[in-house]
Amino acid sequence: MTGNPAIETRALHKAYGRTIALEALDIRVEPGEVFGFLGPNGAGKTTAVKLLLGLTRPTAGEGTVLGRPLGDLGARRRIGYLPELFRYQAWLTAREVLELHARLAGIERARRGLEIERVLALVGLTDRADDRTGGFSKGMLQRLGIGAALLGDPALVILDEPTSALDPVGRDDVRAIIRAAQERGSAVLLNSHLLGEVERLCDRVAIVNKGRVVAAGALATLLGQATVRLRVTDLPDDLGSLGTFGEVTLEEDWLVVRPIDPERIPELVATLVRLGARVHAVDPGRRSLEDLFLGLVRDGETAATGGPASTTPDASRR
Amino acid sequence: MSPQLVLVIAGLTVREIVRRRILWVLLGLSVASVVLVGWGTERLVTLARADGIEELQVRIGVSQVLILIAFMFSFVLAMSAAFLAAPAIASDVETGTVHAMLARPLRRAELVVGRWLGLSVIVAAYAILSGLLAVAVVALVSGHVPPQPFVAAAFLAFQAVAVLTLALALGTRLPSIAAGAVTVVLFGLGWFAGVLGNIAIAFDATALARAAEWLRVVLPTDGLWRGVIFGLEPPAVLLLAAGRSTQAMAANPFYAGEPPPLAFVAWSVVWVLLVLCAGIALFRRREL
């Protein structure tokens, strides 16, 4: 088991008739890592998840989950899954739904009761455990679904939009739950278009658009190195001595150093002052995931429609 | 296939039908119908006896009424079986309930067989209980006891299981409403073909008779219904019929002089298994 990636796909391709849902998906999720799978609606995220679970079959390409082929029964024993639609039998109580899933997952009878109680407490449904789920709100159903996905400490947890029906408090709870699952050794594939969520939780991400991975890697790498923008007047002509901090450019009134080690920003300011410049503002920052995402997705749109690149809204954002 | 998982799904199916009060509604309706049948038969018998009609004739009359009631009940039963079984998988796919379950180490075949087992137990038990209850009530008010009520009830249950198997199998691919409707239409066609085929025999229309014979092989529900009639047909009617040409009697859709051949019953068992396997194969290929 050790050494195998939790998920590995090679050129996974899925077409429904003429519609290409997923084109050449290559991702690799390591054991114990939280991996963000991002994309706009209809990008192919859910299709990818269904392929991983064997709910649909790939048109081409291959992959492994927990070291086994896609859809493998033994692998499914160690996967927890929250579907996008999170619907459960309305005529069962929350506890009975979990009991059903514990039995289907093959959790031994002796462990089942304790495991169900643990999961109920984890998702905050202990008080409603004996109510039928038909009367549950969407948020409660989603909590139940997350609980079902975490039964038996699976090696891989696949969560398809786990916070779509939750309020901010619920979202915060789910973040804590995901971190706890990671600490218990689970790898988590987090399918989402809520970027803040992903930015806070994930070690690495892949961004898909129109069935293709348009960017993938560690968040720090994807978002690029830190940048600092300074509004400076009375700049000396010779800026050569600033070269040790990073590449220096002038954008209108702003002096931009990119990339820069954020720890060295005070030293940069001190150097500028020493050179006789007057520093009015310092704006450290890096691209947010949202900027990256919108840039990639909208580039994809203009590329696909052949529209003029100048209409890309993010060109005027900064 | 894991028997434990099949039983988990079968148990879930039984619990669903009980919890959603479908079973209680069906049972309530049957009790109401049986009460009505009992009352009607009692009136019929009392009036006939008051008119001085011979007891044998009264008994024969009651036996034919019972067959007619059984026929209507078999239709209602087939409709219930179809509309109970059609959504068993189809609506789980439509709502997405099935996705969470099939992501578990549960084979699609286990889901289909578990559903089938749970539904069959419920439908067969319901058919046998309601059928025997009706027979018992008629016996109580008229004194007429059909010769083989258990055979009749068994064929009634078998016919309902055949219908539910078809609806379940269609529901692995079609939306639930379509699967239910197609099943009911096929069931009706099967019965109609059976009647037509028997008339064809009576009038020596060989080609039509052969076509109907084939249809009975493709869809054995009507053949099984003949088994119900046979179990209910009193010896007196058989004796009366013996004097006439069997060809002519065959045209009567409410008459059966002999039980369905063993080969046909065996084929019907195979048919149910084949349809179930086809349903599994269709469901395994389905993209969810």
Structure tokens at B23: 């079973």
With helix as H, strand as E and coil as C, how does B120-174 read? HHHHHHHHHHHHHHHHHHHHHHHCCCCCCHHHHHHHHHHHHHHHHHHHHHHHCCC
The DSSP secondary structure of B44-96, one letter per residue, reads HHHHHHHTT--HHHHHHHHHHHHHHHHHHHHHHHHHHHHHHHHHHHHHHHHHT
CA–CA separation, A297 and A43 (whole Å): 10
The DSSP secondary structure of chain A, one letter per residue, reads -TTS-SEEEEEEEEEETTEEEEEEE--EE-TT-EEEEE--TTSSHHHHHHHHHTSS--SEEEEEETTEETT-HHHHTTEEEE-TT----TTSBHHHHHHHHHHHTT--HHHHHHHHHHHHHHTT-GGGTTSBGGG--HHHHHHHHHHHHHTT--SEEEEESTTTT--HHHHHHHHHHHHHHHHTT-EEEEEES-HHHHHHH-SEEEEEETTEEEEEEEHHHHH-S-EEEEEEES--S--GGGGGTSEEEEETTEEEEES--GGGHHHHHHHHHHTT-EEEEEEEE---HHHHHHHHHHHHHHHHHT--GGG-GGGGT-
Q: How confident is the model at residue B240 (pLDDT cuts 50, 70, 90)?
A: low
Q: Say what the pLDDT of residue A193 is.
A: 78
The contact set of A with B (CB < 8 A) is 16, 50, 53, 55-57, 73-74, 76-77, 79, 81-89, 91-92, 100-101, 103-106, 145, 148, 158
Span B177-187, mean pLDDT? 94
pLDDT tens for A39-64 read 888 888 899 999 999 999 999 999 99
Per-residue pLDDT for B180 more than 90? yes
Cα separations in angstroms, A141 against A105, A163, A291, B91: 19, 11, 32, 19
Token pair 């509604």: residue: B25
The beta-carbon neighbor of A91 closest among B8, B16, B99 is B16
CA–CA separation, B124 and A27 (whole Å): 51
Nearest CA in chain A to B286: A56
Q: Say what the pLDDT of residue B260 is.
A: 85
Nearest CA in chain B to A149: B100
Distance from CA of B234 to the nearest CA of A (A): 46
pLDDT tens for A158-214 read 999 998 889 989 999 999 999 999 999 999 999 987 787 888 889 899 988 888 888
Distance from CA of A168 to the nearest CA of B (A): 25
CA–CA separation, B218 and A14 (whole Å): 37
Q: Return the ∠ at Cα A114 (arms to A108 and A120), rounded to 5°.
A: 120
Residue type, A245: F
Q: Return the ∠ at Cα B216 (arms to B215 and B222), rounded to 5°.
A: 125
CA–CA separation, B276 and B278 (whole Å): 5
Q: Say what the pLDDT of residue B245 is.
A: 62
Cα separations in angstroms, B63 against A27, A298, B247: 72, 78, 22
Per-residue pLDDT for B268 more than 90? yes
CA–CA separation, B182 and B188 (whole Å): 10
Token pair 């050449």: residue: A24
Residues of chain A contacting B105 with CB distance shorter than 8 Å:
73-74, 76-77, 104-106
Nearest CA in chain A to B10: A100
- ipTM value, please give it: 0.86
Among B7, B99, B286, most A C-beta atoms within 10 A, so best to mutate, is B99
Based on the number of CB atoms within 10 Å of its own CB, is A282 exposed (0-12), middle (13-18) or buried (19 or more)? middle
Q: Say what the pLDDT of residue B279 is.
A: 97
Per-residue pLDDT for A152 more than 80? yes
Report the candidate in B111, B110, B109, B83 with the shortest Cα–Cα distance to residue B98.
B111
pLDDT tens for A159-175 read 999 988 899 899 999 99
A176: Cα separation from own chain's centroid: 15
Q: Say what the pLDDT of residue B230 is.
A: 87
Whether the Cβ atoms of residue A236 and residue A248 lie closer than 8 Å to each other: no
A215 Cβ contact list (under 8 Å, min separation 6)? A205, A206, A207, A222, A292, A296
Whether the Cβ atoms of residue A101 and residue B100 lie closer than 8 Å to each other: yes
Strand partners, B147: none
Span A89-93, mean pLDDT? 94
Under 8 Å CB pairs connecting chains A and B tally to 70
Distance from CA of B16 to the nearest CA of A (A): 7
Residues of chain B contacting A85 with CB distance shorter than 8 Å:
95-96, 99
The beta-carbon neighbor of B103 closest among A16, A57, A81 is A81
Per-residue pLDDT for A314 more than 50? no
CA–CA separation, A257 and A153 (whole Å): 46
Distance from CA of B283 to the nearest CA of A (A): 11
Q: How confident is the model at residue A118 (pLDDT cuts 50, 70, 90)?
A: very high
Cα separations in angstroms, A164 against A128, A161, A257: 21, 6, 39
Q: How confident is the model at residue B213 (pLDDT cuts 50, 70, 90)?
A: confident
The beta-carbon neighbor of B103 closest among A79, A92, A106 is A79
CA–CA separation, B63 and B65 (whole Å): 5
Q: Say what the pLDDT of residue B238 is.
A: 66
Q: pTM of the full predicted structure?
A: 0.85
